[in-house]
């Protein structure tokens, strides 16, 4: 079945149209004839290609680092990576750094492709008008998605709804309110014109557009955006849209939370919309690389080597103590299965032999025996040394450490298992092939809870949406222990629940920023932020790329930099 894993991507490796940043770059790279886009086949190709720039955001080190892995309360820097200053908001987080420029460029390239679809659709001969209407609605959905990423990261940005076909040097920063209005308008158009179910898995649908609009309105109504862009009724409408997605379609939460991210189970009834990848390297354009970033260095432990099953550990992001000892700490784990569902705590031996393990010489390990175990709590050295496998605990005493006790550190830490990808062809292959589950029903319930709480003040209803998520996450027979009383529900409870459920899914920086919690929580729970002490108000926006400013007629007077950069 055609499902966007057969994207015609190669044709657009050097697209004739260019982005708002590239439009300021006189190096126009045209390999595709302009008239091709006016043919039915060319039109369909550019519709398909309009999805692909989201691959430069979802599932990339850039995307995870700018949203989840760095500078927040639940993850922080691991041992490796050249972008660690994003974690503690260092001086390298500036207008010339790669991620700042690359995300901007890729999002505007995507916008320009969607503009081409929207502007040319009606003039393409030989296409069913209903097909053109739906494909144009897909482009409106995608354009809103690109602008939503931009406005959250950079604030006021340039709005363009026209296809760029040559060098342009005129650009300006539209107020944040106008950017949100454009996003809302695009999504309303998409909702009115998209089908409930996609003809091909992976295309935008009406419930996907409703889910995204609920997320957008929840954001626009929030503390960070309310004064500049908020509209009366945003929370109420966000709740209405979320409830529509929950109640009016065939989505449902999986009974077992461990199956949500199970290998080979990417297309299930909890997924509202996902970004597609392929096992064909020619069509995978970098792939979903999420599998690389949250892994411990298991391959450096006794009885282990690197395998396809356990992945290639780039050890970019590791859990904070707040995540593994509080939000999903030992007491929580008695009732909540999500630590067990979302983290790998056992690795099995791939290199049999005799080893020194936990400071004990001559330990025999057979193929397939337990080789590494992360119990998630501290054990005594005496208990650790009774085990014929490496035990890694949160903290060792200095004396125990000297005798072979292994503890969490930038290389050794609990591995987030959501993004594991054992079906890659080779152990060092970076191009992952799993779909990225961008919108799922658990988030819809969390949107509904927040919108109901902060809008109408429907505390009981908000509590029930949290409890739906929490009951599903409970160990069998522990559902009652997981339920919250309305007296326990406030915005902090919701943000904490979002951390437990959505960790590693590229939400956290946005969640903390929009609710006004980022600075306090990063200082409280992210050790590098606290130690360096550079995080301040200016960091709630990223710097505008210097390339954009330099190539705009009038420079910084026409396209000013964000304050503090």
Q: Please say if the pLDDT value at position 14 is more than 70.
A: no
CA distance 340 to 358: 24
346: Cβ contacts below 8 Å, ≥ 6 apart: 370, 372, 373, 374
Residues 6+ away with beta carbon under 8 Å from 131: none
Which range among 154-168, 171-185, 337-351 shows the weakest confidence by mean pLDDT? 154-168
pLDDT digits (tens, 9 = 90+) for 400-443: 999 999 999 999 999 999 999 999 999 999 999 999 999 999 99
Task: Summarize pLDDT for 200-220 with one digit per residue, the tens.
Answer: 999 999 999 999 999 999 999
Q: Shortest CA distance to 179 belongs to which of 212, 225, 218?
A: 225
Question: For the ranges 40-54, 89-103, 399-413, which has the lowest average pLDDT?
Answer: 40-54
The confidence band for 5, taking pLDDT boundaries of 50, 70 and 90, is very low
* Contact present, 94 and 329 (Cβ < 8 Å): no
Measuring CA to CA, how many Å separate 456 from each of 238, 370, 450, 459?
A: 11, 52, 10, 9
Give start and end residues of each alpha helix (H) in 455-490: 459-473, 479-482
> How many whole angstroms separate alpha carbon 317 and alpha carbon 291?
11
pLDDT of res. 320 = 98
* Pair of tokens at residue 495: 């943000």
> What pLDDT is recorded for position 368?
98
DSSP of 183-211: HHHHHHHHHHHS-SS-SSTTS--HHHHHH
Contacts of 487 (CB under 8 A, 6+ apart): none
Residue 19 — very low, low, confident or very high, per pLDDT cuts 50/70/90?
very low
Residue 16 has pLDDT above 90, yes or no: no
| Model confidence band, residue 21 (pLDDT cutoffs 50, 70, 90) | very low
* pLDDT at residue 23, as a whole number: 36
The dihedral over CA atoms of 176, 178, 179, 182, expressed in degrees to the nearest 10, equals 160
The predicted structure's pLDDT at residue 15: 42
pLDDT tops 70 at residue 477: yes
Residue 125: per-residue pLDDT: 82
Position with higher pLDDT, 43 vs 3: 43
Instruction: Count Cα atoms within 13 angstroms, Cβ side, for 37.
Output: 27
Among 507, 474, 436, residue whose Cα is nearest residue 54 = 436
Q: For residue 486, give the DSSP letter.
A: G
- pLDDT (average), residues 312-324: 98
Per residue in 27-46, pLDDT (tens digit) is 333 344 566 777 888 888 99
pLDDT score recorded for residue 281: 74
Q: How confident is the model at residue 126 (pLDDT cuts 50, 70, 90)?
A: confident
The predicted structure's pLDDT at residue 471: 98
**Confidence label for 473 from pLDDT (cuts 50, 70 and 90):** very high
**pLDDT for res 279:** 84
Above pLDDT 90, what percent of the chain?
87
**Of 495, 501, 545, 532, which is closest to residue 517 (Cα–Cα)?**
495
Q: What band does 355 get if pLDDT is binned at 50, 70 and 90?
A: very high
> Which residue blocks in 14-97 are alpha helix, DSSP H?
40-49, 61-64, 85-88
Distances (CA, A) of 46 to 29, 114, 183: 16, 8, 21
State residue 502 phi and psi, 5-degree precision.
-110, 10
Reported as a single tens digit per residue, the pLDDT across 237-293 is: 999 999 999 999 999 999 999 999 999 999 999 999 999 998 887 777 789 999 999
Q: Residue-wise over 53-78: b if at least 16 C-beta within 10 A, else e?
A: bbbbbbbbbbbbbbbbbbbbbbbbbb
Report the pLDDT averaged over residues 352-369.
98
Question: CA of 97: how far to CAs of 104, 114, 324, 532, 563, in Å?
Answer: 11, 27, 31, 20, 17
**Residue 334 neighbours by CB distance under 10 Å:** 10
- On the CB side of 323, CA atoms within 13 Å amount to 30
- pLDDT at residue 280, rounded to an integer: 81
Question: Rounded CA gap, 169 and 26, in Å?
Answer: 10
Q: What is the structure's pLDDT at 63?
A: 98
**What is the pLDDT averaged over residues 175-185?**
98
Give residue 34's pLDDT: 64
Residue 9 has pLDDT above 90, yes or no: no
Please give the mean pLDDT across all residues of the chain: 93
pLDDT digits (tens, 9 = 90+) for 443-472: 999 999 999 999 999 999 999 999 999 999
Pairing outcome for strands 317-319 and 75-77: antiparallel
SS3 state of residue 350: coil
pLDDT at 152 (0 to 100): 98
Question: Rounded to the nearest 5°, which phi and psi values hold at 123?
Answer: -95, 0
């Amino acid at each position: 079945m055609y499902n966007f894993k057969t994207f015609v991507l190669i044709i657009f490796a050097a697209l004739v149209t260019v982005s708002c940043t590239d439009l300021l770059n006189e190096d126009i790279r045209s390999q595709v004839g302009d008239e091709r886009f006016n043919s039915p086949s060319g039109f369909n190709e550019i519709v398909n290609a309009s999805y692909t720039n989201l691959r430069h955001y979802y599932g990339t080190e850039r995307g995870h680092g700018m949203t989840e892995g760095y500078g927040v309360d639940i993850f922080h820097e691991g041992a490796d990576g050249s972008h660690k200053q994003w974690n503690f908001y260092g001086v390298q987080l500036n207008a010339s750094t790669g991620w700042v420029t690359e995300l901007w460029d890729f999002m505007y390239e995507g916008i320009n492709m969607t503009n081409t679809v929207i502007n040319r659709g009606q003039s393409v001969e030989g296409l069913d008008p209903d097909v053109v209407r739906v494909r144009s609605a897909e482009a409106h959905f995608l354009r809103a998605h690109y602008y939503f990423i931009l406005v959250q990261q950079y604030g006021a940005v340039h709005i363009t709804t026209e296809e760029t076909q040559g060098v342009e040097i005129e650009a300006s920063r539209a107020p944040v309110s106008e950017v949100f209005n454009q996003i809302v308008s695009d999504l309303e158009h998409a909702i009115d014109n998209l089908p409930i179910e996609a003809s091909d898995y992976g295309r935008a649908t009406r419930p996907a557009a409703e889910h995204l609009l609920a997320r957008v309105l929840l954001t626009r109504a929030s503390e960070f955006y309310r004064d500049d862009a908020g509209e009366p009724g945003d929370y109420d409408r966000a709740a209405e849209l979320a409830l529509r997605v929950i109640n009016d379609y065939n989505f449902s939460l999986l009974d077992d939370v461990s199956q949500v991210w199970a290998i080979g189970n990417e297309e299930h009834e909890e997924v509202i919309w996902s970004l597609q990848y392929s096992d064909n390297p020619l069509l995978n354009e970098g792939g979903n690389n999420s599998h690389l970033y949250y892994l411990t260095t298991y391959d450096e432990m006794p009885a282990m080597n690197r395998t396809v099953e356990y992945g290639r550990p780039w050890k970019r992001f590791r859990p904070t103590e707040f995540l593994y000892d509080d939000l999903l700490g030992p007491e929580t784990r008695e009732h909540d299965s999500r630590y067990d569902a979302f983290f790998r705590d056992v690795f099995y031996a791939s290199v049999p032999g005799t080893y020194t393990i936990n400071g004990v010489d001559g330990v025999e390990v057979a193929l397939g025996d337990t080789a590494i175990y992360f119990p998630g709590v501290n054990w005594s050295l005496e208990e650790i040394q009774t085990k014929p496998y490496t035990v890694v605990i949160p903290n060792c005493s200095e004396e125990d450490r000297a005798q072979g006790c292994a503890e969490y550190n930038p290389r050794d830490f609990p591995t987030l298992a959501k993004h594991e990808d054992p079906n890659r062809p080779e152990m060092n292959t970076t191009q992952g092939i799993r779909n990225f589950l961008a919108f799922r029903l658990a988030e819809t319930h969390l949107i509904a809870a927040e919108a109901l709480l902060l809008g109408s003040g429907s505390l009981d209803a908000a509590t029930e949406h949290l409890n739906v998520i929490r009951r599903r996450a409970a160990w069998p027979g522990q559902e009652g222990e997981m339920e919250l009383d309305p007296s326990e529900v406030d915005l902090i409870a919701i943000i904490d629940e979002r951390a437990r459920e959505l960790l590693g899914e590229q939400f956290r920086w946005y969640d903390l920023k929009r609710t006004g919690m980022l600075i306090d929580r990063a200082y409280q729970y992210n050790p590098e932020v606290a130690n360096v002490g550079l995080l301040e108000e200016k960091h709630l926006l990223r710097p505008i790329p210097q390339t954009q400013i330099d190539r705009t007629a009038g420079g910084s007077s026409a396209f000013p930099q964000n304050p503090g950069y």
